[in-house]
Amino acid sequence: MSPIDRYGSDVLSGDWRAPRRGRSTPTPAEPDLVVEEVETGWVGAVVRVEKAGGMHVVHLEDRRGRTKAFPLGPGFLVDGAPVTLTAPRAAAGAALAEARRAASRTASGSVAVEGARARVASGSRIYVEGRHDAELVEKVWGDDLRVEGVVVELMDGVDDLAGIIAEFQPGPGRRLGVLVDHLVPGTKEARIVAQAQALPGLAQHVRILGHPYVDVWQSVRPERLGWTQWPVIPRGTSWKHGICAELGWAHSSQADIAQAWKRILGTVRSYADLEPTLLASVEELIDFVTEPGSA
């Protein structure tokens, strides 16, 4: 019986760039090493390696100065040969040292309180527009909020902000902080906030702050996704769908959008990965609802 030809007679048939099992060489992702990512064809020099969302990511800069991030591991070529990129020893040591330093602080940069238990929820609250806002606040400030006993709740939009505030019934021992998306002059959000702030007796017990971004996704620093700035999505195109298209991610269903946000959120390690405008607003709201004598 003749031997089985596993690969066929044509050595160029199939995807010749895809590394075959057992042929990929482990290679440290040292700075300036030029590699090609086989799925996208992106060619670039290694800029840095870092840990994001529980995995190592390598950033590759192409000849035009554009940078893109890829998961460290198999799926790369060096001089046409398949390799598995590994963290360089220096990077691994630096990552370990950073992890040890980070262990003493929360994701928001606060000093971690050893053995602290979550307090019983206070009467004060922080309201955010939607689920993605809440998940981002939880990831970065969750430890601090649990220590303070502050709960973050969803509003599902701000169209009836005045009614939402009235229903909450703010007062002594019951402060309300509100985080609003896309709060810039001339927008619908700015008009809604102005109407809500005109309600009598709010100043002492309610604080409404916001950020200028179209969506809270945009408050994540673009470098975390390999960009220098967030793309401008044309009018008439759903902003989130447009962003997913720019990233080459699926975006035909709500499940695709949810998965895209999960991937973006996974790149956020701490407050340092967020834009300063969002940081300032959230920190001020937390200070407001936890101010001594407010609970």
Q: What is the CATH classification number for the domain harbouring 175?
A: 3.40.50
Among the candidates 58, 84, 99, a domain finishes at 99
Same domain (yes/no): 91, 157 = no
Domain assignment present for 230: no
* Residue 226 C-beta-side C-alpha neighbours within 13 Å: 22
Domain assignment present for 2: no
Same domain (yes/no): 157, 42 = no
Same domain (yes/no): 153, 57 = no
For residue 209, give the amino acid letter: L
Same domain (yes/no): 88, 140 = no
Alpha helices in the chain (DSSP H): 89-102, 131-148, 161-168, 188-197, 239-247, 254-266, 276-290
Same domain (yes/no): 141, 93 = no
Beta bridge partners of 207: 177
Q: For 13-32, what is the mean pLDDT?
A: 66
Domain assignment present for 79: yes
Within the chain, strands assigned E span: 25-28, 34-37, 43-52, 55-61, 67-71, 76-78, 81-86, 125-128, 151-154, 176-180, 206-210
Same domain (yes/no): 72, 141 = no
Same domain (yes/no): 142, 273 = yes
Same domain (yes/no): 137, 272 = yes
Among the candidates 51, 84, 99, a domain finishes at 99
> Cα-flanking dihedrals φ and ψ of residue 4, to 5°?
-80, 130
Q: For 211-219, what is the mean pLDDT?
A: 95
**Which range marks the domain in which residue 62 is found?**
25-99
Comparing CA positions, the residue from 169, 203, 191, 212 lying closest to residue 288 is 203
Tell me if 172 sits within 8 A of 204, measured CB to CB.
Answer: no
For residue 107, count CB atoms less than 10 angstroms from its CB and return exposed for 0-12, middle for 13-18, buried for 19 or more.
Answer: buried
Q: Over 80: is that where the pLDDT of 35 sits?
A: yes
Strands 25-28 and 81-86: parallel
Q: For 111-116, what is the mean pLDDT?
A: 49
Q: Over 50: is that where the pLDDT of 271 sits?
A: yes
Domain assignment present for 194: yes
Q: Over 60: is that where the pLDDT of 93 sits?
A: no
Domain assignment present for 247: no
3-state secondary structure of 271: helix
Q: Over 60: is that where the pLDDT of 294 sits?
A: no
Q: Over 80: is that where the pLDDT of 9 sits?
A: no
Tell me if 124 sits within 8 A of 176, measured CB to CB.
Answer: yes
Per-residue tokens: 135: 């998940």
Residue 260: how many other CB atoms lie within 10 Å: 19
Domain assignment present for 93: yes
CATH number at residue 62: 2.30.30
CA distances from 71 to 49, 54, 57, 135 (A): 10, 11, 4, 23
In this predicted structure, which of 39-53, 221-235, 255-269 has the lowest mean pLDDT?
39-53
Same domain (yes/no): 92, 190 = no
pLDDT at 1: 43
pLDDT at 173: 87
Same domain (yes/no): 76, 146 = no
pLDDT grade for 216, boundaries at 50, 70 and 90? very high
pLDDT grade for 15, boundaries at 50, 70 and 90? very low
Q: What percent of the chain has pLDDT over 70?
A: 79
What is the domain count for the chain?
2
Same domain (yes/no): 59, 161 = no
CA distances from 123 to 27, 168, 230, 250 (A): 55, 10, 38, 41
Among the candidates 59, 84, 99, a domain finishes at 99
The predicted model scores a pTM of 0.62
In this predicted structure, which of 49-63, 196-210, 211-225 has the lowest mean pLDDT?
49-63
Same domain (yes/no): 133, 274 = yes
pLDDT at 19: 44
Q: For 210-218, what is the mean pLDDT?
A: 94
Rounded Cα gap, residues 216 and 206, in angstroms: 22
Domain assignment present for 250: no
pLDDT grade for 11, boundaries at 50, 70 and 90? very low
pLDDT grade for 199, boundaries at 50, 70 and 90? confident
Domain assignment present for 198: yes
